[in-house]
Amino acid sequence: MTDNPLDRLTLAERAALTSGESLWRTQAIERAGIPSITLSDGPHGVRRQPDDGDHLGVGHSTPATCFPPAVALGSSWDPDLARRVGEALGRESRAMDVQVLLGPGVNIKRSPLCGRNFEYFSEDPRLSGVLGAALVLGIQSQGVGAAVKHFAANNQETDRMRVSAEVDERTLREIYLPAFQHVVTVAKPWMVMTAYNRVNGVYASEHPWLLTEVLREEWGFRGVVVSDWGAVDDRVAALWAGLDLEMPTSGRASDASVVKAVEAGALDQELLDASAARVLALVARAQPGEGTFDAGAHHRLAREVAGQCAVLLKNDGVLPLGLQDSVAVVGELARTPRYQGAGSSHIVPTRLDDVLTEMRALAGRELEYAPGYRLGDAGRSPELEEEARAVGGGGGAPPPGGGGAPPAPGGGGAPTPQQQPDTPPPPRAP
C-alpha cells in the first residue's frame, strides 16, 4: 500500500486533476477519495456564485461585503489596513465554503485605458507588492488560499486574448515582475494566476521562462499555477511550461488531449504527475466552509477603509462643508452609486451606502436634491438639468423619489439588494 495518492490514480484521472470540473470547482476523483474545492472571484468582495453560475459576472452571487477596490486601497499606503481587509475576506470565504479567493491583482497601471486598473494597486511595483503581500497574508491567515494575478504584463484590456506585450527582460524585472516576486517570496500565496495575453509572442499560460524558470526556480514558488478563465490555448504546451490547473472546465476535451500526448511520448508523464501532485497538495490543505461572518462589523471596516483611502488633492476653502448652511445635492450617482468595477469582481453587497443618505444623516435634516441626468444611454435630460439649476439652498423637501432615510446608528446603510444602473457595465472575465 503506497502513501502517494498519485499511485492510486489512472493516467486519465491524473489528467483530470489538472483541469476544472465546473466553472468554479476543481475535479473530484471520488473513487480515490479526492474531493473538489471551490474557487471564487475576489478580492474586493467574495463573489460566490452557484456551481451553475456564469464566470463573466452578469449573474447573481451570494451577498458579501463590498470593500473598496485596490485602486482605493493603494492610496492608503497602509499594509496593516490591507491585511485587515484580507482577514475579513478570508472569514467571508470560509463562511461561503470557498477554499481559494482569486486575488489580489498586482499588475502595474501603465495605461489609463486599461479597464481593470480599478483592480490593481498602483503604478509603483514596490507599493503594489507590499500591499498585495499584506492582503494575501490576511486572507491566508483564515485558512483560505489566495491567487495573485495576472502573471504577467497584463496591463491593457484591448484584444487581451491575443495581444502580445513586447517587453525586454530588464523592463520586466524592474517594473512588471517585482510586485509578483514580493508577494510570492514574502506571503507565499497558494496560487498564481496567469494572464490572457502573450508575453513576447508566447501566451502567459504557456510561457516556460515565466512559469518555470522565474516563478519556480528563481522565486521558489511551490503552489499551484492556475490559468485565467479560458486563457489556455494549448493544454499540452501549458503543462510543459509549468501550468498546473486549467480553469474552468473544458468538458474533458483537453483532458483527453493530455492523455493522448503522454501515450504518444509528446508530453513527459513526470511533468503531468508534478502538476497533479501540486493540485492534490492544494486540495489537502484546503479547509471546508465553517461559521458565519459579522456583516455589520465588516461593513464598518469597509467604511473605515474608504475613509483612509480618500485623497484630497486640493482644497480651495470649500471643505469641510457646513451642512447647516444652504446645501443642495445634485447628481443621480448621489443616490444610485456605481461602485467597484464591472464584471468578475462585481458583487452583490450586503449593504450599500450612498452620498445623499449620508449627507442628510450628517446634516440631521432633509437636503434639497436633483438628479440632474439619467444613467445609461439616456444621458442628458434638459428637464433634469433645468431642475438641478433651480435647486436652491438646504432645508427644502427633495423632489419625489429623491433619497431615503438616514441610516441607523452605528454606521453603514441598511441591507439592500444590489443597485444596478439603467445600463449595466459590460462583463469581464476573472
User: For the chain, percent helix, then strand, then coil, each to nearest 5?
Assistant: 40, 10, 50
pLDDT for res 425: 37
Higher pLDDT, 304 or 414: 304
Which of these, 215, 197, 232, 55, lies nearest to 148 by C-alpha position? 215
Across 178-187, 284-293, 328-337, the highest mean pLDDT is recorded for: 178-187
| Whole-number Å distance between alpha carbons of 406 and 354 | 10
Q: Which residues, 6+ apart, have CB-to-CB distance to 249 below 8 Å?
A: 19, 20, 21, 22, 23
Confidence category of residue 424, pLDDT binned at 50, 70, 90:
very low
| Whole-number Å distance between alpha carbons of 144 and 138 | 9
pTM score, whole prediction = 0.88
pLDDT for res 415: 41
Higher pLDDT, 128 or 58: 128
| Structural contact between residues 343 and 425, judged by C-beta atoms closer than 8 angstroms | yes
Q: Which residues, 6+ apart, have CB-to-CB distance to 30 below 8 Å?
A: none
Confidence category of residue 54, pLDDT binned at 50, 70, 90:
low
pLDDT for res 161: 87
What percent of the chain has a predicted confidence (pLDDT) above 70? 88
Confidence category of residue 398, pLDDT binned at 50, 70, 90:
very low
- Residue 106 clears pLDDT 80, i.e. is over it: yes
Largest alpha-carbon pair distance within the chain?
83
Q: List pLDDT tens digits, range 198-230.
A: 999 999 999 999 999 999 999 999 999 999 999
- Residue 166 clears pLDDT 70, i.e. is over it: yes
Catalytic residue among 41, 78, 228, 255: 228
Which of these, 357, 339, 341, 344, lies nearest to 402 by C-alpha position? 357
SS3 at position 150: strand
Q: List pLDDT tens digits, range 315-352.
A: 998 888 777 778 889 999 999 998 887 777 788 999 99
Secondary structure element (H or E) that encloses residue 164, with its range: strand 164-165
Compute the mean pLDDT over every residue in the chain, rounded to the nearest whole number.
88
Mean pLDDT of 290-300: 95
228 catalytically annotated? yes
5-285 CATH choice from 3.30.540.10, 3.20.130.10, 3.20.20.300, 1.10.8.60: 3.20.20.300
pLDDT for res 340: 82
pLDDT for res 403: 41
Mean pLDDT of 154-159: 88
Residue type, 304: E
Secondary structure element (H or E) that encloses residue 370, with its range: strand 368-370
Question: Which regions of 202-355 does DSSP assign to beta strands (E)?
Answer: 202-203, 224-226, 328-330
Secondary structure element (H or E) that encloses residue 261, with its range: helix 253-263
| Structural contact between residues 210 and 151, judged by C-beta atoms closer than 8 angstroms | yes
pLDDT for res 341: 78
| Whole-number Å distance between alpha carbons of 329 and 248 | 45
> Among 27-31, 115-119, 123-127, 423-427, whose mean pLDDT is lowest?
423-427
SS3 at position 187: helix
pLDDT for res 96: 96
Q: Can you give the residue ranges of every domain in the chain?
A: 5-285, 315-430
pLDDT for res 343: 74
What percent of the chain has a predicted confidence (pLDDT) above 90? 70
| Structural contact between residues 418 and 349, judged by C-beta atoms closer than 8 angstroms | yes
| Structural contact between residues 282 and 190, judged by C-beta atoms closer than 8 angstroms | yes
Confidence category of residue 252, pLDDT binned at 50, 70, 90:
confident
Higher pLDDT, 401 or 96: 96
Set of cell numbers at residue 70:
485596490
| Structural contact between residues 192 and 282, judged by C-beta atoms closer than 8 angstroms | no
| Whole-number Å distance between alpha carbons of 90 and 99 | 9
Set of cell numbers at residue 54:
456564469
